[in-house]
Amino acid sequence: MRGSALDLIWRRRMDGLPRNARNAILTEPLWGVFATPLLYYAPLYMSSVGLSTTQIGLLGSLFLALSFVFQALAGPLTNRVGRKRTTLWGDLISWSVPMFVWAFAQNFGAFVVAAALNASNRIVAVSWSLLVIEDVEAPQRARVFGILNLIVTTCGLLTPLVGLAISRHGVTPTLRALYLAGGLGMTVMFFWRNAITAETVSGKLAREQHKELGFRQSLNHTLSEVGGMRRHPGLVGVTAFYVLTIFLEQLSLFQILFLEHTLHFSAQALSYVPVGGVAVTVLVYRLVLPRLAAFPVARTLVLTRALGLMGAVLLLLVPVGQLTPMLLVVSLLGGATFLTQTYRDAALFARLPSAGAADLYSAVQTLALLCSVPAAALAGAIFAASPRGLFALIVAVSALLLGLALWLARREHQRPLPDAA
């Protein structure tokens, strides 16, 4: 009976979704169970093997600078090789291999190598997104992004177990073992997903269009599509919002170090942060998203960024060592991030034309990376001088994002943004 009930729930969730979206959702947990805790604890891991906050910030900026290079190649490669094959080989290079490098990293140089390899995931960010979403009808896209974001966030429930292991065995041994397991698990997942997905209709057309072009010609074609971005109503404004949210995410890299070093929370206490994020995300997904479906995207983004600004301000007011207020505030920030990512991506894809989607999506990603390159190094330098100063800057950027969301909402009277889902 239990199996039948779970099967019924699964079918209802997947009802109306095409093959690629269903199977991407099915396999996503095998990525999330490793990536979610490892990305969360990564700054602690780097600190535990002797890296300074300045070096951690430099790694972040190096990663973004290399990501910018790979992002420029993402559109042409995705069009020439195909969404499916690009995703498989890109994931193996950008996730499987770096996992093993991180597992044995002893110094800054090893982390540089891993960051360089992992930066190539910007190519996969384009190919995977298109593989998953291109064959999905527009009204269903926010739903797909919401489910995928929910899966990754829910994997945060594993962090208390990782935190318990850290308290018993230490940060370095625990995370080395998890990186090794992640390298193996992700590799299995990538081949499995590749076997059960198919090239999209738009992907097939793009391959036909680009197969006769040389790589330089293909890149020039991409640049010509980028130059025409203004021809698509609302795309420039949504792109500006997208870029600024990526910049904010890079500034927030040091949140876990702020909670540990400045507010003096233990690794075990910090392990409950993602759990609170999961609880809020599930509530948002079940109770909030259905009610927001009736609202235009830009107005929804106003709400999400108002919550984000509130959380950023409250984080500066959390008393040292007080677990409950910290969990409430960080969970609020997690809910705001979940909503922002879901509706930001839905708004962006709604503005992309079916022809040239890979080129334009890659262009948005490239611009976001270019503008965010100095963010991590800047955050590391500010954090080293004044941890609270960094999070005051985050408040300012959050306020700017809210202002941009309000501007987008006002422009709905001239160019209405499409409904989310």
Please name each of the domains of the chain with its CATH number. 14-413 (1.20.1250.20)
Alpha-carbon distance of 151 to 13, in angstroms, equals 13
For 296, phi then psi, to 5°, come to -60, 155
Where is pLDDT greater, at 138 or 27?
27
Mean pLDDT over 391-408 rounds to 91
Q: Are 364 and 236 in contact (CB under 8 A)?
A: no
pLDDT per residue as tens digits for the range 63-81: 888 887 887 787 778 888 8
Nearest to 136 by CA among 6, 301, 300, 15: 15
* Spatial CA neighbour of 136 closest among 195, 200, 203: 200
Residue 381, pLDDT above cutoff 70: yes
Residue 385 has pLDDT above 80, yes or no: yes
What was the pLDDT predicted at 81? 85
Give residue 218's pLDDT.
56
Decide: helix, strand or coil at residue 421: coil
| 234, 415 Cβ separation under 8 angstroms | yes
- The span from the CA of 275 to the CA of 282, in Å, is 11
- 110-127 b/e with 16+ CB inside 10 Å = b? ebbebbbbbbbbbbbbbb
Alpha carbon 96 to its chain's center: 18
Q: What is the DSSP letter of 258?
A: I
Mean pLDDT of the chain: 82
Q: Where are the alpha helices (DSSP H) in 155-296?
A: 159-169, 171-196, 201-210, 215-227, 235-251, 255-257, 267-270, 273-283, 289-292
8 confidence band (pLDDT: 50, 70, 90):
very low
Angle between helix 357-385 and helix 387-410 axes, rounded to 10 deg:
150
Q: What is the pLDDT of residue 306?
A: 92
Q: Is the pLDDT of residue 421 over 70?
A: no
Between 97 and 238, name the one with better pLDDT: 97
CA distances from 253 to 211, 298, 357 (A): 40, 26, 30
Q: Which pLDDT band, with edges at 50, 70 and 90, does 163 fall under?
A: confident
Alpha-carbon distance of 361 to 141, in angstroms, equals 15
Q: Write down the pLDDT at residue 1.
A: 42
CB 111 within 8 A of CB 241: no
Q: Among candidates 123, 238, 200, which has minimal Cα distance to 354?
A: 200
Q: Which of 354, 342, 343, 346 is nearest to 134 (CA)?
A: 354
pLDDT tens figures, 118-139: 999 988 988 998 889 888 887 7
Q: Whole-angstrom Cα distance, residue 347 to residue 238? A: 7
Q: What is the pLDDT of residue 6?
A: 40
Does residue 190 have a pLDDT over 90? yes
* Rounded alpha-carbon distances, angstroms, from residue 76 to 25, 117, 157, 222, 405: 26, 19, 38, 7, 31
Q: Is 199 left (phi over 0), alpha (psi -120 to 50) or beta?
A: beta
pLDDT of residue 281: 73
Which residues are paired to 296 by β-bridges?
A: 419
